[in-house]
């Protein structure tokens, strides 16, 4: 109950209709308990007196009571349908909204299938709980209480016989609830794992087919599916056990009451009508009693679903907007005053970063990074694989938060800026472009403000040399499909680049944006991109000399630190590691002079 009470904020707005529905259901259920009393009157009255008119009148009463009961239960269903669908929709919307606000580090840790199952299966279980078990645990409890009072009033000795199984049933329910909770949680987690496998298989279908791995994937799926099946069977066994106890013991008690009542009727101590009414009441309570097992099971599954839902909702979102404090207008920070001449542009000031789930004692990914990109300047970031280039670029739009140090845009600490404002200033294009199931135009215009139109779209497509869009079946309105897999890697990359430049951002962060292009397309994109970079402060991760040549200066990132900054030709002459990276040699056997010589030949060939 402590877990399920967390649903109250969502239920509160619809509480009047839910309480009304519960009251209507209680009235309907108690209406059913009047039927045995009518039977008693018929047996002891019209039947005993052989009065046909009285029998017909009793039958009419029974028909009206049955009709009233059905009508009331129908009204209950109508009362709960709309508000509960609203509750489910609100919870799903809150979950989706919260997922958007959670930091990238959270999504790095969580499997997407687990999040999907919480937004679909778990919320469906909660809606079913609010619609049925929540109401009927109360309704059936009241019905059992009223029914027992009626039976005790008719004959207290028979009533005590019927109440005999109550203690063992309660004990079994307590044991069952504890065991079922463990198995229900395990089953719902396994559904999340299975959802993850299905999603990955669908998204990676080209790899699976390309490497002929469909059998191994099917085997992995069967194993997970078999594990889930075993857990569901364990749930079924537990439910069968409790149901057997709940059904059998009351049936035995009813049988004993029937025998004892028949003896009392034979001895003249009890009227036949009273026995009929007593047994009819006991039989009317069979459904409320029998339903306890699966109502408890559904309630336990709902409690587990609630736990899983709030595991995500309790995760700490990105810090509130502007939580980093006021922007440092004077340029003063932890390291003292920053000269006015160097405040503008993009600046990394003693930045240290380690991933949130890393051991605090582990070496940082980035260690005391100092870098200044002047306004309107393009800086190429070069380094060996795994040196931290992509991580550094992810810090600018605050996809990750710096561990210490600070990053400033035109002298303003990004930690003190609202994220919406920061991400309006900074546009990004990643090496692995992500496209959404929408049109090409919609994908590109995601990088612009709400007022952007066809002119901005055409300009961005031109910069990215993405004129191929006009040759698609419906031009820019063509749906690209999930992940944009209907397009080639180079086409996806050019659309992602167009998305980055469409809003004419003041700051541009590009993570090797031309890696999938052929040399001719790359040259055309570079020519168009130079015009954009002339008015933009840009940080460009580069692996190829052609991309490096786009930049005004180059920074070398090695071992998590900036070890050299200069122009391309300066670093080529003075830094052996840079010359080695640019030469394309990986053997480690060439000297710096040999690397520079080889790169000079490659550059001459390119010209």
Distances (CA, A) of 44 to 62, 64, 152, 575: 16, 21, 19, 110
Res. 310: pLDDT tops 90: yes
Res. 329: pLDDT tops 50: no
What does the pLDDT read at residue 327? 39
What does the pLDDT read at residue 425? 85
Closest to 464 in 3D by CA, of 532, 511, 397 = 532
What residues form DSSP beta bridges with 590?
none
Could you report how far apart the first and last alpha carbons of the chain are, in Å? 74
pLDDT, tens digit (0-9, with 9 covering 90-100), for 538-576: 888 888 787 888 888 999 988 888 888 888 888 888 888
pLDDT, tens digit (0-9, with 9 covering 90-100), for 216-260: 888 888 999 999 999 999 988 988 888 888 888 888 888 888 888
User: In 103-121, which positions are buried (b, 16+ CB within 10 angstroms) versus exposed (e)?
Assistant: beebeeebbebbbbbbbeb
Residues 151/282, Cβ–Cβ less than 8 Å: yes
426-429 and 346-353 as β-strands: parallel, antiparallel, unpaired? unpaired
Closest to 65 in 3D by CA, of 45, 36, 87 = 36
What does the pLDDT read at residue 43? 79
Most confident range (mean pLDDT) of 34-38, 313-317, 526-530, 599-603 is 313-317
- Domain 10-313 = CATH 1.20.1560.10: yes
pLDDT, tens digit (0-9, with 9 covering 90-100), for 346-373: 899 989 998 877 777 788 888 888 999 8
What does the pLDDT read at residue 416? 85
∠ CA 356-357-363, rounded to 5°: 80
Residues 55/42, Cβ–Cβ less than 8 Å: yes
pLDDT, tens digit (0-9, with 9 covering 90-100), for 133-158: 888 888 888 888 888 888 888 888 88
What does the pLDDT read at residue 233? 92
What does the pLDDT read at residue 342? 47
- Distance, in Å, from the CA atom of 357 to the CA atom of 362, rounded to the nearest integer, reads 11
Residue range(s) in the chain whose domain bears CATH number 1.20.1560.10: 10-313
Res. 321: pLDDT tops 70: no
Helix axes 454-463, 489-501, angle to 10 degrees: 130
What does the pLDDT read at residue 229? 92
- Distance, in Å, from the CA atom of 96 to the CA atom of 100, rounded to the nearest integer, reads 6
Task: Please give the full DSSP string across 150-188, using - where no structure is assigned.
Answer: HHHHH-HHHHHHHHTTHHHHHHHHHHHHHHHHHHHHHHH
Percent of the chain with pLDDT over 90: 4
- Distance, in Å, from the CA atom of 381 to the CA atom of 555, rounded to the nearest integer, reads 5
Strand (E) or helix (H) holding 53: helix 52-101
- Distance, in Å, from the CA atom of 566 to the CA atom of 577, rounded to the nearest integer, reads 14
336-337 and 332-333 as β-strands: parallel, antiparallel, unpaired? antiparallel
- Distance, in Å, from the CA atom of 562 to the CA atom of 382, rounded to the nearest integer, reads 10
Calculate the average pLDDT of the chain.
Answer: 81
Which CATH architecture is the domain 341-566 placed in?
3-Layer(aba) Sandwich (3.40)
Distances (CA, A) of 55 to 277, 281, 385, 440: 16, 20, 92, 76
pLDDT, tens digit (0-9, with 9 covering 90-100), for 482-538: 666 677 777 888 888 888 888 888 888 888 777 767 777 777 777 777 777 777 888
What does the pLDDT read at residue 324? 44
- Distance, in Å, from the CA atom of 227 to the CA atom of 414, rounded to the nearest integer, reads 48
Q: What is the mean pLDDT of residues 322-349?
A: 51
pLDDT, tens digit (0-9, with 9 covering 90-100), for 421-468: 888 888 888 877 777 878 888 888 887 766 667 788 888 888 888 888
Banded model confidence at residue 319, pLDDT cuts 50, 70, 90: low
Q: What is the mean pLDDT of residues 34-49?
A: 78
Residue range(s) in the chain whose domain bears CATH number 3.40.50.300: 341-566
Banded model confidence at residue 588, pLDDT cuts 50, 70, 90: very low
User: Look-up: residue for tokens 């209907």?
Assistant: 486
């Amino acid at each position: 109950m402590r877990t399920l009470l967390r649903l109250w904020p969502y239920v509160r707005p619809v509480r009047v209709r839910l309480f009304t529905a519960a009251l209507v259901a209680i009235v309907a259920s108690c209406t059913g308990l009047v039927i045995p009393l009518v039977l008693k009157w018929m047996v002891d009255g019209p039947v005993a007196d052989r009065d046909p008119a009285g029998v017909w009148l009793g039958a009419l009463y029974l028909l009206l009571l049955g009709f009233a009961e059905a009508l009331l239960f129908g009204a209950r269903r109508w009362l709960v349908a709309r508000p509960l669908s609203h509750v489910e929709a609100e919870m799903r919307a809150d979950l989706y909204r919260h997922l958007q606000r959670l930091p990238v580090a959270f999504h790095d840790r969580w499997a997407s299938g687990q999040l999907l199952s919480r937004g679909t299966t778990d919320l469906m279980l909660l809606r079913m709980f609010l619609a049925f078990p929540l109401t009927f645990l109360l309704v059936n409890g009241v019905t059992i209480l009223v029914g027992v009072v009626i039976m005790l009033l008719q004959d207290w000795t028979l009533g005590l016989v019927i109440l005999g199984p109550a203690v063992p049933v309660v004990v079994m329910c307590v044991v069952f609830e504890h065991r079922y909770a463990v198995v229900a949680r395990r089953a719902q987690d396994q559904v999340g794992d299975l959802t993850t496998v299905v999603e990955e298989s669908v998204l990676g279908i080209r790899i699976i087919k390309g490497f002929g791995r469909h059998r191994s994937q099917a085997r992995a799926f069967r194993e997970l599916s078999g594990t889930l099946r075993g857990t569901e069977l364990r749930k079924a066994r537990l439910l069968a056990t409790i149901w057997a106890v709940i059904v059998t013991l009351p049936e035995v008690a009813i049988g004993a009451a029937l025998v004892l009542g028949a003896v009392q009727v034979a001895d003249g101590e009890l009227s036949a009508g009273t026995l009929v009414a007593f047994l009819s009441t006991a039989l009317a309570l069979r459904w409320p009693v029998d339903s306890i097992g699966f109502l408890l099971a559904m309630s336990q599954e709902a409690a587990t679903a609630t736990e899983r839902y709030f595991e995500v909702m309790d995760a700490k979102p990105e810090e509130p907007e502007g939580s980093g404090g006021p922007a440092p207008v004077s340029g003063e920070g932890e390291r003292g005053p920053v000269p006015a001449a160097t405040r503008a542009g993009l600046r990394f000031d003693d930045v240290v970063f380690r991933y949130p789930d890393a051991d605090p004692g582990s070496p940082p990914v980035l260690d005391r990074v100092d870098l200044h990109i002047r306004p309107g300047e393009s800086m190429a970031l070069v380094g060996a694989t795994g040196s931290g280039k992509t991580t550094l670029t992810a810090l600018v739009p605050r996809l990750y938060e710096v561990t210490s140090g600070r990053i400033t845009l035109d002298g303003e600490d990004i930690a003190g800026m609202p994220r919406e404002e920061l991400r309006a200033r900074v546009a990004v294009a990643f090496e692995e472009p992500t496209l959404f199931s929408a049109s090409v135009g919609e994908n590109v215009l995601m990088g612009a403000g709400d007022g952007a139109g066809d002119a901005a779209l055409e300009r961005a497509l031109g910069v990215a040399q993405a004129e191929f869009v006009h040759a698609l079946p419906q031009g820019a309105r063509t749906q690209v499909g999930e992940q944009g897999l209907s397009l080639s890697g180079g086409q996806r990359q050019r659309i992602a680049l167009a998305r980055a430049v469409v809003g004419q951002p003041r700051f541009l962060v590009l993570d090797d944006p031309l890696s999938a292009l052929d040399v001719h397309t790359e040259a055309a994109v570079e020519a168009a991109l130079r015009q954009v970079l002339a008015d933009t402060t840009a940080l460009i991760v580069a692996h190829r000399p052609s991309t490096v040549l786009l930049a005004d200066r180059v920074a070398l990132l090695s071992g998590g630190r900036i070890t050299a900054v200069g122009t391309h030709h300066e670093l080529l002459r003075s830094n052996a590691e840079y010359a080695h990276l640019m030469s394309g040699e990986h053997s480690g056997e060439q000297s710096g002079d040999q690397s520079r010589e080889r790169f000079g030949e490659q550059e001459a060939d390119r010209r």
